[in-house]
Structures are given as C-alpha cells and as structure tokens.
C-alpha cells in the first residue's frame, strides 16, 4: 500500500524481486524473462531442455542481471516442490511466478488420443496448479507476491482441433480466479495474460496458410499480428506494485481480436 502513495514510473520496477518463469528461455517465455530481468528482477528459468539458455545468459550478462536455470519437466512428480526449493536456494525467496510453459497438439476430435489429452492438460493446467501451490507457500511466508498465468484466445473461444488446449486455457481462467480469491488475504495477486495472435514459430504455419491468415487478420482491429515484445509491458505491469489492486482477471493482449 505505502509504495503506491507516491506513484511514479518506478512503481513498475522489480528491483530485488525474485521471479520464476516456466518455459522462460525460448518462445514467448524468453520475452517475459527479458522483461523481468530488465525491470530489475532476478529470474529462475525452468525448462525441459536447455534450448535458449545461452541467449538468455548472454542477455543477463550484458545487462548485469541475475539469471539461473533449472532443467525440469514441470509435469514430473514432485517437480513443483523441487522448483520452489531451487528458487529459494538460489535467491532466498520467490516474489513472482509466471506459469508460461505450454504445448499444443492438433487433431480432429475423432482422432484425439487419450494420452494427448492428458499430456496437454498436464503441462498447460495441472503444472500451473501445482507450481502455484508450492510457490504460494513461500510467498505467504513474506505476505506478498504475484502469480501470472498464461492463457490464450482459447481462454475465451473454442478450438475444434485443439480440444485439450482450449479446455486447459479456459481452465487457466478459473484457476486464476480461484487462487486470486484464496490468496488475496496474503497480498498475493493472481492474474492471467492472454496473448492474441503472435508472430512466433508456433504460429508460422497459420501465418503461411493463405485462407486462415487472411481470416485472422480480418478479425484483428489493430490490423496486424503482434510481435512478442508487445506482451512485455502487460507482463511487467502484472508483476509489479502498479497492479497491487488487480487480481483474478485475465487480460487479453490481442489488438482487439475478442471485440469482433
Ligand atoms: P514454445 O513451444 O515456443 O515454448 C514453450 C516453452 O515451454 C519451452 O521453453 C518449453 O521448454 C517449455 N515446456 C514445454 N513443456 C514443458 C515441460 N513439460 N516442462 C518444462 N518446460 C516445458 O511456446 P510459446 O512460447 O509459443 O508459448 C508459450 C505460452 O504462451 C504457452 O502457454 C502458449 O499456450 C501460450 N500462447 C502462445 C501463443 C503463440 O502465438 N505462440 C499465443 C497464445 C498463447 P523445452 O523447449 O525445453 O521443452
């Protein structure tokens, strides 16, 4: 509360804060990690492989930021506890969690395999639930923190070729609300960021599809696909004291896609 009495741009700074970003070395997660680092936070990046670690390390070294890496499958038994313990061992506490790691599997509904349903729900929803739980136990020790879940347009819209993805991303909205209410008395804000159509490798095939790419672009009032950098400001806002009275919401960063 007190830190908001004299509001300045420094209210968005994250100096001295400790963050965990799952999937934080590649794809969109790398942009979240860079946004947090350059705002002053120390970051523990968690990912299954070491993809992107070197680039993030170089970024941190150049800016004199603190970053550490932990190779961990977030769906493995006991991984949530292990990640929280690793962050505390590295930096002493946890102030910010970004549940970003996600996968997508496409198929016709008749052909969806049970194992694929479980895999997507495990990474995109269950892991966020368990890790939020383990991290909240640390955050409640110092009464304060930020949990940011990553949704998508499928947090609001269907996806007939991506059943488990749509279910998990809708689930993220509910999980965000449930944790937001439960953790509010501990001054922990829980929100979600829902990216729209972003120019990434994941969407390359879609961008190159002559029919779908035109349909999508027609649907975006801003008139262009987002660059990943366009998500960074909202992420920092949700991670900072500037959003201390904001909790339980899912913020679309979509150029107005949901308006049409
Ligand atoms: P990427 O596939 O580029 O990156 C996913 C990241 O998650 C990788 O770092 C990957 O690590 C990590 N990851 C996946 N599974 C696991 C696991 N079991 N354990 C640990 N880490 C794991 O995806 P995007 O950057 O495109 O997507 C990131 C998030 O943003 C997802 O939640 C996605 O749903 C969401 N999103 C993406 C959009 C887009 O346009 N790309 C649009 C809307 C939402 P590794 O490579 O080492 O396995």
CATH class for the region spanning 11-198+228-259: alpha beta
If you write DSSP's letter for every residue of 212-224 in order, what string do you get?
A: HHHHHHHT-TTSS
48 Cβ neighbours under 8 A, 6+ residues apart: 71, 72, 73, 74, 101
Atom of ligand 1 minimally distant from the CA of 203: 40
Please check whether residue 248 is in contact with residue 213, taking contact to mean a CB–CB distance below 8 angstroms.
Answer: no
Tokens encoding 218 = 């027609």
Protein residues with CB under 6 Å of any ligand 1 atom: 22-23, 25-29, 47-49, 51, 73-75, 100-103, 123, 150, 152, 195, 198, 200, 202-203
Between the CA of 33 and the centroid of ligand 1 the distance, in Å, is 13
Q: What is the pLDDT of residue 201?
A: 83
Q: What is the pLDDT of residue 67?
A: 98
Output the residue whose Cα is nearest ligand 1's atom 47.
Answer: 49
Between the CA of 100 and the centroid of ligand 1 the distance, in Å, is 6
Atom of ligand 1 minimally distant from the CA of 150: 32
Tell me the domain boundaries of the chain: 11-198+228-259
Q: What is the pLDDT of residue 63?
A: 97
- pTM value is 0.97
Residue 52, CA atoms < 13 Å, CB-side half-sphere: 22
Atom of ligand 1 minimally distant from the CA of 25: 9
Output the residue whose Cα is nearest ligand 1's atom 39.
Answer: 198
Q: What is the pLDDT of residue 143?
A: 85
Q: Which residues are catalytic?
A: 165
**How would you write the pLDDT of the chain (260 residues) with one tens digit per residue?**
566 677 778 999 999 999 999 999 999 999 999 999 999 999 999 999 999 999 999 999 999 999 999 999 999 999 999 999 999 999 999 999 999 999 999 999 999 999 999 999 999 999 999 999 999 999 999 989 999 999 999 999 999 999 999 999 999 999 999 999 999 999 999 999 999 999 998 788 889 999 999 999 999 999 999 999 999 999 999 999 999 999 999 999 999 999 99
Alpha-helical runs (H) found in 16-113: 27-38, 53-63, 79-91
C-alpha to C-alpha distances, 176 to 99, 158, 170, 180, 194, nearest whole angstrom: 11, 19, 10, 6, 12
């Amino acid at each position: 509360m007190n830190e908001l009495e004299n509001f300045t741009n420094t209210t968005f700074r994250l100096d001295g804060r400790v963050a965990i970003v799952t999937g934080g070395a590649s794809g969109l997660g790398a942009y979240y990690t860079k946004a947090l680092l350059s705002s002053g936070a120390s970051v523990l990046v968690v990912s299954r492989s070491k993809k992107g670690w070197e680039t993030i390390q170089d970024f941190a070294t150049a800016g004199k930021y603190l970053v550490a890496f932990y190779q961990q499958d977030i769906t493995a038994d006991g991984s949530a506890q292990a990640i929280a313990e690793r962050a505390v061992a590295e930096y002493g506490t946890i102030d910010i969690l970004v549940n970003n790691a996600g996968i997508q599997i496409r198929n016709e509904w008749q052909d969806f395999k049970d194992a694929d349903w479980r895999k997507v729900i495990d990474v995109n929803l269950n892991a966020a639930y368990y890790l939020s739980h383990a991290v909240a136990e640390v955050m409640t020790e110092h009464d304060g923190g930020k949990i940011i879940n990553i949704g998508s347009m499928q947090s609001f819209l269907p996806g007939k070729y991506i059943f488990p993805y749509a279910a998990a991303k809708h689930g993220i909205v509910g999980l965000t609300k449930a944790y937001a209410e439960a953790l509010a008395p501990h001054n922990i804000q829980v929100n979600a960021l829902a990216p729209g159509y972003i120019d990434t490798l994941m969407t390359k095939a879609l961008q190159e599809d002559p029919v779908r790419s035109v349909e999508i672009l027609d649907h975006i009032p801003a008139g262009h696909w987002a660059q990943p950098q366009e998500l960074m400001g909202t992420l920092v806002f949700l991670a900072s004291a500037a959003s201390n009275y904001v909790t339980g919401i899912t913020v679309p960063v979509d150029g107005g896609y949901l308006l049409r």
